[in-house]
Amino acid sequence: MKNIALVINRLIPRSRIEPVVDQIAARCAGCDMTAVYVENESGEWKGLAEARRLGIDLVITLGGDGTVLAGSRMFADLGVPIMGVRLGRLGFLSEVEPAGVAAALEDLANGRFFTENRLMLESRLLRHGEILHRGFCLNDVVLSRGATLRAIELEFEIDGEPVARYAGDGLIVSTPTGSTAYSLSAGGPILAPDLGAVLVTPLCPHSLWIRPLVVGPESRIRVYLTRPAVKPEVVLDGQESWTIREGDVLQVRRSEYPCRLVRFEPKSCYQLVRRKFQGENAR
């Protein structure tokens, strides 16, 4: 591995980030590796264009799970592995503690690791038949009513078949990885992260029968508004947003690019769920 992208969440205090950056920089200097810094400043990821131009072999994220999500979207189409250094709260995606960075880099250099493939989604927003936006997500894509308090009316199809039309707060389409995020709060089930499936969860539907659906990984999902609404949004991983209006079509499908998370030892997803949601009560 010659070129590394460091995706840094600058919302975390420098006192926590700089020691980790110094360890990585020292390792790169000793192994003829180049590190490119991709940092979020003023709502933009500076250094992203340079990292993509250079052609990276590895992404290291410094932050929480949200930083892993950002890194996975930025470099999804490059197919490079991602290693998360946990500087945020307990999460599901970050693998390495700050104290273990030096050992992790040593293991990486010697090939003592494996990658865990996670299903990602590709979303496209079409207007008048033309692609207006295109993006990837590791957790979920959400059609939301936005800041307004009024419900929106929408309809969604799966593989060309109409499924439901309702008024509510929106719709979540999530991966198994994202099933423990927004969808869980909306009443959706938890899916094992290695499951080949996509989860469709209505948001507060004004209906007694509409419930979350688990569909096949190759399913094609189309969502559109059936009435005009005030500033509804499409949001990817809670971080990237697009404006949608009546007549637009949101298309969601499995991405051809999985997220390749770096792992050094097998871990039980069920133990992570227990620790995340039961905290100190988990045994």
pLDDT of residue 177: 97
- Known binding residues for NAD(+): 65-66, 139-140, 150, 169, 180-185, 239
**Domain carrying residue 148:** 121-254
pLDDT of residue 210: 94
Same domain, 224 and 262: no
Does the predicted model carry a pTM greater than 0.85? yes
In the chain, the number of structural domains is 2
pLDDT of residue 281: 56
Same domain, 115 and 125: no
Same domain, 39 and 112: yes
Same domain, 41 and 135: no
pLDDT of residue 282: 54
Query: 132: which residues sit within 8 A by CB, 6+ positions away?
Result: 125, 126, 242, 248
Q: What is the CATH number of the domain that holds 67?
A: 3.40.50.10330
Same domain, 22 and 66: yes
pLDDT of residue 31: 65
Q: Which amino acid makes up residue 8?
A: I
Task: Please say if 65 is a catalytic residue.
Answer: yes
Q: Which of 22, 32, 57, 65 is catalytic?
A: 65
Same domain, 100 and 201: no
Same domain, 246 and 168: yes
Same domain, 113 and 208: no
Q: What tens digit of pLDDT does each residue of 69-110 get?
A: 999 999 999 999 999 999 977 678 988 999 999 999 999 989
- Known binding residues: 65-66, 139-140, 150, 169, 180-185, 239
Q: What is the CATH number of the domain that holds 209?
A: 2.60.200.30
pLDDT tens digits in sequence order for the chain, 283 residues long: 788 999 998 888 889 999 999 988 888 776 667 788 888 876 788 899 899 988 899 999 999 999 999 999 999 999 999 999 999 776 789 889 999 999 999 999 899 999 999 999 999 999 999 999 999 999 999 999 988 889 999 999 999 999 999 999 999 999 999 999 999 999 999 999 999 999 999 999 999 899 999 999 999 999 999 998 888 999 999 999 999 999 999 999 999 999 999 999 988 888 878 877 776 555 5
pLDDT of residue 230: 86
Same domain, 34 and 128: no
pLDDT of residue 44: 80
pLDDT of residue 89: 74
Q: Can you give the C-alpha Rg of the chain in angstroms?
A: 20
pLDDT of residue 42: 66
Same domain, 23 and 89: yes
Same domain, 43 and 114: yes
Same domain, 39 and 84: yes
